[in-house]
A and B are shown apart, each in its own frame.
Chain A
Amino acid sequence: MTVDTARHGLLWHLRIALLETRFQFLSSLRLPAFAVPTLLFPLFFYFFFAVLFQAGGPSLTGPTYMLATYGVFGVLAPSIFGFGVGLAQERDTGALLLKRTTPMPTAAYLFARVGTAAIFGAVVVLLLFLLAGFAAGVELHRGQWFSLAGVVLAAALPFSAVGLAIGAWAKQQAAVAVVNLVFIAMSVLSGLWFPISMLPGFLQDFANVFPAYHLGQLALRTIDLDLGRPLWFHLALLAGQTAVCLAVAAAGFRRFSGR
């Protein structure tokens, strides 16, 4: 009897996933060390580099170009920190172990983390768009605004996979350092802070190993400012990189569940 009523349907899964997301989001929002930099850094950087200094010069139509890359940057932070640091922390405190003894579906937990990153990302993107539209004079077609927002929010998935791979292996203290390093190095070397064309040639080639580079190019593609590589090229590499991250994460979890 009890067992049959518990063969929960899709609705039950959905309900838990949404509740997990709600509480994950609340929990993150109440953590100033997470929420403040996540929401303000991209805006601050965009204002500083794109609006005040017009890095990249008029040929790259600075503020427009950088709207795409800072949008990707804005989603990178909550994804990689939420998964990388948040997961390592919940593992260290035992919260994750406790949840594994409950009926909570693992998918709901992952959904909540990606969802939280996407909500933070959406807020950042909205604020960036307002700043770009009103303060920086960026003009895009309505379709471009939407497709740019879509690409940027979709970035939460591959970036979460990167964070998951780190969080599955590193202890909390180490995770903070590793995530910061990956976060900053990947942002700069993928051309999220300033245009990739300002980097030396070999670094531009090297950028192909970073998911952030491909997401940056896909975002720029929506406003016709990318380097002109074919769509499949970026999508294929992104898919491969995400698969590698997920495999690394899965190996970490297997190790954690004890031989």
Chain B
Amino acid sequence: MALPSASDSALARLAGVSHRYGDVLALDRLDLEVREGEVLAVLGPNGAGKTTAVSLLLGTLTLQTGAARVFGSAPDAAEVRLRRGAMLQVSGVPETLTVGEHLALFRAYYPSPLPTERLLEMAGLQELRDRRFGKLSGGQKQRVMFALALAGNPELVFLDEPTAGLDLDGRRRLWDEIRGLKAAGRTAVLTTHYLEEADALADRIAVIHRGRLIAEGSPEEIKSRTAGRVVRCVTTISTETARSFPEAAGAEMKGQHLEVVTAEPEAVLRRMFALDPELGDLTVAGVGLEEAFLALTGDGAEPEGEA
């Protein structure tokens, strides 16, 4: 096939895209590129502009400024729709139809759809084929939406916050299914506000904050640029001592607890146990995404510095 202007490996691209909702600037000169065969995670806090970016690439939102191309064409072109699948964030399908009926309808839209059995298997829905959509659990509904996104055997799949609202088990199941996409050689774009999710699934992460691309790279690169982990415990170790640990990026008291931010929690814990074997109420958690974004946007500097 000869599609003009698709000379590079980008299957989809936003270039210099800005988007306003009234007074709110949702996207601010955003550049985003989806490369063939990759799983790209678009990571950002709520309201960062992730869904707006995806909607522009799906053509469900009208482009205001900049350029959007998918397979070298306009995002809502008929031939683009045939080669692309989507799982949207707020989405249900009529509740009185069964899983199998929904699949039959969506398969009919495409010239060479995936076999129904295969779709059921990929989404883990074999037992639920004859169940009405309205009778499914939240996780099962998400898996149906996932299967519908794949019905046309798409080359490119958009998954907008696919695990939003799912419990841990539901999230893990969907993760497995998304990993299956990659194994099948498909290109996927996934939006999420969990660094953990982006890390678990993506080849490449694009971090969006306030409508701008603020970081881009492999999960390892992105993780190393975020502050890492928070070690939290009740201890006699002072804040000053904790700050003097070479592995500590920072430390402060939160009520009775000392919190130490570090990229190497194991080393910090060894030092702390050496100083205070009696330390208690210990937790080690990922840095909240907001803090991680501050680390990225602030370029390592203190966010509340003078201008």
Name A residues whose Cβ lies closer than 8 Å to a Cβ of B. 1-3, 5-6, 8, 15-16, 19-20, 23, 26-28, 30-31, 90, 93-95, 97-98, 100-104, 257-259
- With A3-B79, A102-B152, A103-B81 as contacts: A94 and B101 at CB distance below 8 Å: no
- Residue from B78, B93, B109, B148 within 8 A of A16 (CB atoms): B109
Taking A30-B97, A103-B110 as given, write out 12 further A-B residue pairs in contact, using a Cβ cutoff of 8 Å, ordered by the A residue number: A2-B111, A6-B79, A19-B104, A23-B105, A26-B101, A27-B96, A31-B96, A94-B92, A98-B86, A101-B58, A258-B55, A258-B61
Q: CA–CA, A198 to B145, complex, Å?
A: 54
User: Chain B residues near A31 (CB, 8 Å)?
Assistant: 96
Expressed in whole angstroms, the minimum distance between the Cβ of A9 and any Cβ of chain B is 12
Name A's interface SS: helix
Cβ contact within 8 Å between A94 and B105 = no
Expressed in whole angstroms, the minimum distance between the Cβ of B193 and any Cβ of chain A is 19
Q: What sequence of 0s and 1s flags, for each residue 160-182 of chain B, a beta carbon within 8 Å of any chain A beta carbon?
A: 00000000000000000000000
Interface members, chain B 78-110 (any A CB < 8 Å):
78-79, 81-86, 88-94, 96-97, 101, 104-106, 108-110
Q: Can you sample 13 A-B contacts with CB below 8 Å? A: A6-B111, A19-B105, A27-B94, A27-B96, A28-B96, A94-B91, A98-B145, A101-B59, A101-B85, A102-B106, A102-B152, A258-B60, A258-B62
**Residues in B neighbouring A258, C-beta threshold 8 A:** 55, 60-62
Q: In the bound complex, how far is the Cα of B93 from the Cα of A20, in angstroms?
A: 13
With contacts A26-B101, A27-B97 taken as known, whether A98 is within 8 angstroms of B1 at the C-beta atoms is no
Of all chain B residues, which has the CB nearest A26?
B97
* Contact in complex: A90, B94 (CB < 8 Å): yes
B40, chain A: closest CB distance, angstroms? 18
Asked if A15 meets B84 with Cβ closer than 8 Å, knowing A6-B78, A98-B148, the reply is no
**B1 & A23 in contact (Cβ 8 Å cutoff):** no
B83 touches A2 (CB 8 A): yes
Q: How far is the CB of A25 from chain B (nearest CB, A)?
A: 11
Can you name the residue of chain A whose Cβ is closest to the Cβ of B158?
A: A101
B92 adjacent to A23 (CB under 8 Å): no
B79 and A94 contacting across the interface, CB-CB below 8 Å: no
Contact digits for B49-69, partner A, Cβ 8 Å, 1 yes 0 no: 000000100111110100000
* Bound Cα distance A151, B94 (Å): 31
Residues 140-153 of B, flagged 1 when their CB comes within 8 A of A and 0 if not, give 00000100100010
What are the 8 tightest A-B residue pairs by CB atom distance, in nearest-first order? A94-B91, A93-B92, A30-B96, A101-B86, A103-B81, A3-B79, A94-B90, A27-B96
